[in-house]
Amino acid sequence: MKNAILLFLILVRAGFAASAQNCDVNFLGTKTLYKRDNQKYTPVPPGYHAVFINHVGRHGARHLTKDVQTTLAFSLLSSADSANNLTEKGKKLKQMVLALQKVENGNTKSISAEGVDELKGIGERMYANTPGVFKGVPNLNVATTKEVRTKQSADAFSKGLKAKLKDGATISEYNDDTNLRFYDASPAYKAFEKGIDDSSIKLSLEKAEHIDEINDAVTSRFFTPAFLAKLSDGDKAKFIDDIFGFATIVYSLSAEIKQAGFMPEDLDFKTFFTCDKLEKLSIVGSADEYLKKGPGTDNNGVQVRVAVPLLVNFINTTDEFIKARKFNAQLRFAHAETIAPFAALLQISGADKAGSDPLKFNASWQASSVIPLSANIQWIFFKKEGAEEFLVKILLNEKEAHITGLNEKSFPYYRWDDVRKLYIDKLSRLNVKLSDDMAAYLVNLK
């Protein structure tokens, strides 16, 4: 009887431990997989039909952006193992890291099979929702950045779109880092970004979420005391950042994990964290995105104004369509750092609210909602036969978006003249004209 009771207690404890690790995926932040709920769009006003789309999207679900062997986590685990300084959990973690290296070998910086499916689906739905834009043999203008994952994303999107086209399409492709990687071209933004890393706001947030304690507690599970004594606080922080990054990336790699001969549990890095610790690390990570890429503490800050070139490009390409009808759609594929500030600049509700207390940012801005993998912003233009007026509906992640500053009675089909005026007035307050050199703007941004 005593042994039976002991066995029962062991099983209950094991069951509790298993359920404790059955965490939801809210901790994924910007690595949240793109999932579109079944949308019921507001009916198009009578007589109007879609004629043009201006679009920008983030790349799809991806692999790691650097080789596993170049990470501090790989280096520390290898060094500790060679000196016999790994605990049993450390040895298990090392095996997971080696498995991830096998999965990622030759795939870094690319989108995954999941990412292909995400983008392909967006392309298919774009055609299904606005077939009139693509009638005949449409001309599509496709822009990507220098990163291969944006070109792969454009290809996946085009595959989904072209599968629905009746007569093919003429596609013009080009690189556009000025308008899509504007954050790389601005010295002021780079300085701002570094300032956030060293700011009292960031430090206070990490303190409030007990990040140092998490780094100490989790790291101590993998290394012997002798090895731990050699690690600085910075080493521990970077080590945990790497492991947390592994825990979030594997959700994008389901097909590749299976193809490499592994089961999901073979790369389940989240089991090394409690759900509470995952949540706290995610909060700090998302706050970092909010402060550096979103509205942060100032929705007119440099981290938002750096996206001005893309807004200028959207307006100019729309004006060109209205004047000459050269392209049926302008399609751009970029990064989370592109979408977040652009959404704030456009004054999209849910993406544009600044806050003085970053500890409460997730009440008004969530990385998983604004910039998940494959995040996108679409301006869809509608016109009635014989009428001069264009209407525009703006979507964030394929959901109808409210625009702060526009008449809500018009939602979601705003008059283009009203939208254009809202943004031209905003650019004017920033001393920007549509004819300005945007490369120079980024260099001189303050």
* Per-residue pLDDT tens digits of the chain, which is 446 residues long: 334 323 322 332 333 333 335 688 899 999 999 998 788 999 999 999 999 999 999 999 999 999 999 999 999 999 999 999 999 999 999 999 999 999 999 999 999 999 999 999 999 999 999 999 999 899 999 999 999 999 999 999 999 999 988 788 999 999 999 999 999 999 999 999 999 998 888 898 999 999 999 999 999 999 999 999 999 999 999 999 999 999 999 999 999 999 999 999 999 999 999 999 999 999 999 999 999 999 999 999 999 999 999 999 999 999 999 999 999 999 999 999 999 999 999 999 999 999 877 678 888 899 999 999 999 999 999 999 988 899 999 999 999 999 999 999 999 999 999 999 999 999 999 999 999 999 999 999 99
Q: What predicted TM-score, i.e. pTM, was given to this entire model?
A: 0.93
Contact residues for 161 (Cβ-Cβ < 8 A; gap 6+): 123, 124, 126, 127, 134, 169
CA 431 from centroid of its chain's CA atoms: 30
Buried b (16+ CB within 10 A) or exposed e, 353-363: bbbeebeebbe
CA 418 from centroid of its chain's CA atoms: 29
Give the separation between CA 340 and CA 347, rounded to whole angstroms.
Answer: 11
> Residue 334: which H helix or E strand, with range?
strand 329-334
Of 3.40.50.300, 3.40.50.1240, 3.20.20.70, 3.40.50.1400, the CATH number of 27-62+111-187+297-444 is: 3.40.50.1240
Give the separation between CA 157 and CA 277, rounded to whole angstroms.
Answer: 36
Q: Name beta bridge partners: 86.
A: 223
Task: Please list the residue range(s) of the chain that carry CATH number 3.40.50.1240.
Answer: 27-62+111-187+297-444
Distances (CA, A) of 332 to 244, 278, 391: 30, 33, 21
For position 9, what pLDDT does the model report? 27
- Please identify which residue in the block is written with the tokens 């062997």: 69
